[in-house]
Structures are given as structure tokens and as C-alpha cells.
Amino acid sequence: MTPEFKDETPLDPFNLWNGANFKVKIRSVGGYVNYDKSEFDSPAPLLDGDDSKLEAIWKQEHPLKEFTEESNFKSYDELKNKLHEVLKGDIRGKAPTSPKTAEDVEDVMVEKPSILKSKAPKQEVDEETDALEYFQKLAEE
């Protein structure tokens, strides 16, 4: 790892002979969990440098190439198109259609009746009903 300060020596924490353990230091800063003081321990060989144990660990490693192959990832253009589709679409993921003329605007308004103006029979009074009544009063003002 490349050190941030000049007085620190660079190290490869994953090296079996010259690596280092990571010391997690958890603090509470402003009511939030903070890990800023975490650091690497001094470099030392893993398992006291016992080569037979290190070889056993090394043989248990698995190749990661299957996870990093390009075929597992979408192209930039596919991701860009998906992003634009999501950002421009409505909740169903379809692009919204905007009215072209004043008549179309009128039709859209007629097709989408307001929930606030519906005179449904009153049922159990709960928080949702109270909120609906409150917003209905605001709409009428």
C-alpha cells in the first residue's frame, strides 16, 4: 500500500512473509461509527513463517478470473442506456408521454381523476385517513 505520510513505510498487507494485520479501531464521532484511526500492524510473516502451513494456505486460494471476465459485465453503452431509461421514466420504467396540444392536456386531466376530490364513504379513522383529510382541506383552500 502506498503510505499517505512520508514517515510511513510502504507495505503489501497480502504478502505471506512481509504482510501485516489490519487493526480496526472503531470510534463514535458525532453519533456515527467512524473507522478513521484503523491502521496496519507492523509487517511480520504469517504463521511465524512456517513454510508448510503457508503452502497449505496458498493451495486453498481460488482463481478470481471467472469473476473479473469481461463477459460478466455490461458494456458502457448498455449501462448508460439503462441509466437514462430509469432517470427519464415513470415508476413503471416507461418514458413519460407529454401532451402535444391543449386538447391533449385536457384529456390527460380527465383521464387522471384526483384522489383528493373523491367522496368515498368514510371508514375507520386512522392516520392515513387523517392525512388524506388534511391534504383534501389544503386542496380546497
Quick one: pLDDT at residue 35?
96
Q: What grid cell was written down for 112?
A: 387522471
124-137 pLDDT per residue, tens: 555 666 777 888 88
pLDDT confidence of 122, banded at 50, 70, 90? low
The C-alpha cell 481460488 sits at: 62
Separation in Å, CA 45 to CA 40, 50, 53 = 14, 9, 12
38-87 pLDDT per residue, tens: 988 888 998 888 899 999 998 999 999 999 999 999 999 999 999 998 99
| Eight-state DSSP code of residue 115 | S
24-36 pLDDT per residue, tens: 999 999 999 999 9
For residue 28, give the 3-state DSSP assignment: strand
Separation in Å, CA 49 to CA 9, 16, 58, 128 = 21, 8, 13, 66
Quick one: pLDDT at residue 77?
94
pLDDT confidence of 23, banded at 50, 70, 90? very high
86-113 pLDDT per residue, tens: 998 755 545 555 555 555 555 545 555 5
Give the Cα separation of 120 and 123 in Å (integer). 9
Between 8 and 102, whose confidence is greater? Answer: 8
pLDDT confidence of 140, banded at 50, 70, 90? confident
Quick one: pLDDT at residue 49?
85
Q: What would you report as the CA-atom Rg of the chain, rounded to the nearest whole angstrom?
A: 31
pLDDT at 8 over 90: no
